[in-house]
Chain A
Amino acid sequence: MSLLALLPFYPLISFLILISFGKKLSWQLASTISIGAMLLSAGSSAVLINQLGNSESQLITAHLWSWFSLTTTQGSATINVAFYLDALSAVMIAVVTGVGLLIHIYAAAYMKSDENFSRFMAYMNLFIVAMLILVLADNLVLLYLGWEGVGLCSFLLIGFWYQEKANVLAARKAFIVTRIGDTSMAIGLFLLFKSLAQLTIVDVNQAAQLSWKIGDADAYWIALLLLGGAVGKSAQLPLQTWLPDAMAGPTPVSALIHAATMVTAGVYLIARMHEVFLLAPEVMTYTAWLGALTLLLAGVAALAQHDIKRVLAYSTMSQIGYMMLALGAGAWSAGVFHLMTHAFFKALLFLTAGSVILALHHQQNLFKMGGLFKKLPVESLLFIIGLYCLVALPGSSGFFSKEAIIAELWSSPTAGQGLWYCAILGALLTSIYSCRLFFLAFLGKARGNSNLEQHQDGHQENSSQGHLLRLPLILLALLSLFGGLISLDLSSVFSSAIATQAQTNFINEPSWLHTVAIVTPFIGIVFSWFYFKSYRENSCDNIKSSTGAISTFCKSGLGFDRLYQYVLVRPYCCIAKINRRDIIDQVLMLSAWYTKLWYEVLSASQNGSLRWYAAVIGIGVVGLAGVVAL
């Protein structure tokens, strides 16, 4: 077995051990097992990526076993459990195992006091297994297995504290909403197999190139359905509503699943199937517009949130919107690059927020924070680094990736100038909500956290936990700062895409584009410095959150939840209520009813009265003799 084949099995074994002997394992043992498995995975992926760089074909494959085979009129296709590592999946496994490792270390400390600690770590490990299967899958069926696996783990982890109803509801919502996308994706896969009789990703991409022309109906529908799957998983418009609620889960979960890895699976899917998308330019335009709309919508919604984690959740949506925008514009490498850097800095932001929340005794309301800069200097510094990358100030990793995206928008054939303006507006919004978040949480006067000092003492006593909490944060901060210097060479994957890209000329672009893109975040910061003056100054003792209609509207995520409640949930519930006694069931129950009727009739006829029996014999004789005689 090659190293690649073993990659998902380390966390799988850890998961099995933890789920089997969970209650009996001590914290040390459980965390050692889970983190050890992650360490093995991360080490293996580092070795693999190194091997990949040295190999000639830029490709490593591992065939484990044949899963099943499908026979169609056009031939048969064998579905293998096989792994396929190229530059794109290398980026993904680096993110999944690397960031996953750091978050596991953090989670071990963060969740230490939870009585279901081993169950938590088991789910986290299972998530890593599913995510690795997703990104390494050699064919779309295996990819779908991983896709559903991460969905399951997301459900389990959002509802980890299942004793509270809100968490359970959030988990259910996440599961159901992503299910819509998954269904669309499954249908897309069926269509794909029907028209190409292939499901191995490499073969599909080749066959698509050969058998479809640009703008074919097949390519259009398949790409559209796959986009539906990606939209569901990546929380884009119109299936974005689950992500803010998913913050009900523990913070490491939000960092790992709902910021760094799982939500970017949609981006990965589109990048993976880019050859199909290239054949459907309309769908790429849709992708870009969906990304842009999500980007703006999430930015506006993030401006009005009270909960620190919800701000970050909307920020995640908005950043994934950037990635979608990039994919739609054909800037594949830039999109994947942004995926990676975003994983670093968003994980950092979430984990730091988790530390803050822990320090404040699970206080997540921004309006009850304030003035934390002095009390939690290390966390504040780390948070600043995270925001620095998020806002994409020059020099940060976010800068490199976001500028790369924005640069390609103007003259992309599937995007265009309108989207460029959207992206710039999004960058402006990003900087504004980031500043608002920072001012509210870390500057200004302390509000409702007077017991922080006392807790800090207790916190310092438990220094091993503190170190475990800070070590991954610092590593992530370093990654966020210098991750932009990692040069991704995805040309081997996106060779065909680059070929089309080369046809577009950059000559028509005005020269001020780059300047505007770089300056925008600063404008946002300067604007918020004055606009949110009350938030950062000590003068104001207690800041009231604005309760205006627009603010409330933005806080609710621009009313999408309510819209879906009225447009989809209510009518569905209504239909369900009408159909409470299943109509088809009633038809089936007719036979039971019929049988029961006869049972009752015949039972009533057996009344035990001899005279009645004699009369019935008489009736029978009359009938029979009547038939004979007449």
Chain B
Amino acid sequence: MITINTLFYLSGLLAIVASIKVVTGKQTIHALLYLVVSLLAVAVCFYLMGAPFAAGLEVIVYAGAILVLFVFAVMMFGLAQDEHLHAPKHGAGQWLGPIFLSVLLLLVLIIAISNSEIQQVLIPKVIDAKDVGILLYGPYLLAVEIASFLLLAGLVSGYHYAKPRQAMQSDDNFQVGDEI
């Protein structure tokens, strides 16, 4: 019998494994696809945690929009030589320090979580889009406005930085550091 629990743990494990593959991947496209898998697994988790709206957003916005953006960007770069140059060397010393640090961080986090005596369990009651919408356009109106500004700013700056070279030639006397 497959319970919600086992489904959750399975999809969580899937997300973890896929994330590890993202981080350690060599091919950009492969890594992107693993990221999609990871996001989808997380979306399943969301659904199991009783947040179908969030799960839908995860699939549509993350896996759909943002990852497609990544794919477009990768297509523009043509990364053949770059990947070979900067691919992580397996077993190389450069992994040791970060992993040690990360394990430490994880330990600290887990200890913090287990020490904080959280008894709550997730109530398998669905919080639907309506509740979210009421909150968003009620108390969180200001946050929504700010988020829209943020998106606008992202749009403008994305357009500006990614302008074609010809358009930027007039700014060539700028220092690199100024723009980046």
Q: A residues bordering B, Cβ < 8 Å?
A: 615, 618-619, 621-622, 625-626, 628-630
Contacts and interface: CB of A to CB of B under 8 A. Distances in A.
Nearest to A627: B108
B101 A619 contact: yes
Interface stretch (B41-49, B109-117, B168-176): B109-117
Given A615-B97, A615-B101, A622-B101, 11 more contacts: A615-B98, A618-B105, A621-B105, A622-B104, A625-B105, A629-B108, A629-B109, A629-B111, A629-B112, A629-B115, A630-B111
B112 A625 contact: yes
Interface string B74-117: 00000000000000000000000110011011001101100100
A630 to B, nearest CB: 7
Nearest to A621: B105
Contacts of B105: 618, 621-622, 625
Contacts of B111: 629-630
Interface residues of B, number: 11
7 contacts: A618-B101, A622-B108, A629-B109, A629-B111, A629-B112, A629-B115, A630-B111
Nearest to B106: A622
Contacts of A615: 97-98, 101
A121 B102 CA distance: 87
B110 to A, nearest CB: 9
Nearest to A630: B111
Interface in B104-160: 104-105, 108-109, 111-112, 115
Contacts of A619: 101
Contacts of B112: 625, 628-629
A629 B101 CA distance: 16
B102 to A, nearest CB: 7
Interface of B: 97-98, 101-102, 104-105, 108-109, 111-112, 115
Contacts of A618: 101-102, 105
Nearest to B94: A611
A383 B49 CA distance: 126
Contacts of B102: 618
A85 B155 CA distance: 100
B81 to A, nearest CB: 21
Contacts of B115: 629
A97 B109 CA distance: 96
**B97, B102, B108, B111, most chain A CB atoms within 10 A:** B108
A630 B101 CA distance: 17
Nearest to A619: B101
A619 B109 CA distance: 13
Contacts of A630: 108, 111
Nearest to A616: B101
A611 to B, nearest CB: 9
B98 A626 contact: no
A589 B97 CA distance: 37
Contacts of A628: 112
Contacts of B101: 615, 618-619, 622
A626 B108 CA distance: 6
A210 B101 CA distance: 85
Contacts of A626: 108
**A621, A625, A629, A630, most chain B CB atoms within 10 A:** A629
B93 to A, nearest CB: 14
Contacts of A625: 105, 108-109, 112
Contacts of B97: 615
Nearest to B116: A629
A626 B109 CA distance: 8
A606 to B, nearest CB: 14
Nearest to B101: A618
Nearest to B102: A618
Contacts of A622: 101, 104-105, 108
Nearest to A624: B108
Q: List the 3 closest A-B pairs by CB distance, nearest first.
A: A629-B112, A625-B108, A629-B111
B96 to A, nearest CB: 12
Contacts of B108: 622, 625-626, 629-630
Contacts of B109: 625, 629
A619 B100 CA distance: 11
A207 to B, nearest CB: 80
A625 to B, nearest CB: 5
Nearest to B114: A629
A630 B108 CA distance: 8
A594 B101 CA distance: 29
B56 to A, nearest CB: 32
Contacts of B98: 615
Nearest to B112: A629
A500 B115 CA distance: 99
A625 B113 CA distance: 11
A232 B109 CA distance: 81
A246 B109 CA distance: 85
B25 to A, nearest CB: 17
A615 B99 CA distance: 11
Nearest to A629: B112
Nearest to B115: A629
B72 to A, nearest CB: 24
**A621, A622, A628, most chain B CB atoms within 10 A:** A622
A625 B110 CA distance: 11
Contacts of B104: 622
Nearest to A618: B101
B175 to A, nearest CB: 15
A628 B111 CA distance: 10
A615 B101 CA distance: 8
Nearest to A611: B98
B51 to A, nearest CB: 27
A619 B101 CA distance: 7
A622 B111 CA distance: 12
Nearest to B109: A625
B100 to A, nearest CB: 10
A326 to B, nearest CB: 89
A168 B102 CA distance: 74
A629 B102 CA distance: 16
A618 B100 CA distance: 11
Nearest to B97: A615
A626 B115 CA distance: 12
A433 B105 CA distance: 98
A159 B44 CA distance: 100
A505 B93 CA distance: 106
B111 to A, nearest CB: 5
